Structure 1
Amino acid sequence: MNRVLILLASATLALAGCATAPVTDPTALQISDGEVENYWTPTAELVSTKLDLSALQGRSGQMREMAHTVEVTYIIGSDGKIHDSRVLSTIPASASGQWALAGLSAASYEPAPGNTARLPVRLTHTITLGAPPAAN
């Protein structure tokens, strides 16, 4: 997959509202993926317009195979930024899910109207990049 497509996918994820905050934050409220809009709303502003894609390169410098589906866990912190994001699983299992983390790192949130206390939340989310490859 070429670098432009990776950048596009990362930016799309950020704009779609995928963000993370410290998974280790003991004050973060564990919520389901469908509850996030009750606490946080994605902003159109990107935290970073330059995404670090170095994790997508293998030791040889070649781009690693990218997973088409990545399950991630993360926290949206009280600052509205993603913290402590981690890949839990990928499909295919041997492929890299780092593209999802790169996209999450560029996203930001603002508190939803009912979240005046700016409660940090922890959630697990599945992100899919395009259609899965056809079975042979």
Structure 2
Amino acid sequence: MHQTESWGSYMQPRTSLGDPLERIARLASENAVVIFSISSCCMCHAIKRLFCGMGVNPTVYELDEDPRGKEMEKALMRLLGSSSAVPVVFIGGKLVGAMDRVMASHINGSLVPLLKEAGALWL
């Protein structure tokens, strides 16, 4: 018990560890491209294929395989202001958005520069 207390000043308070938005922000900032997904979702599969086809290796968090995935999914819905939470893409720690925003960025040519800036694409 005493050892745990001595680490208390170095650890985040217990309440912030449970905040799904803080967890999403932390996970999203740890890698160049992060996709929050559900393993059985066809749109999630399509977005993963898009990035892999471009030579990008995204970090994928399957919310249906995470014990706190439902909480994170609800937080993503609030963040997007949408009834559908996945797929959600972050590039360089910044929210790009759901499938429609990613595809619009890909079509208008702004996706590749975002990926290069984040260090996810070198070509």
Choose between structure 1 and 2 for higher RCO, CA contacts under 8 A separated by at least 6 residues: 1
Normalising to structure 2: TM-score of the pair?
0.28
TM-score w.r.t. the length of structure 1 is: 0.27
Whose strand proportion is higher, 1 or 2? 1
Greater radius of gyration (CA) = 2
Per residue, is there more helix in 1 or in 2? 2
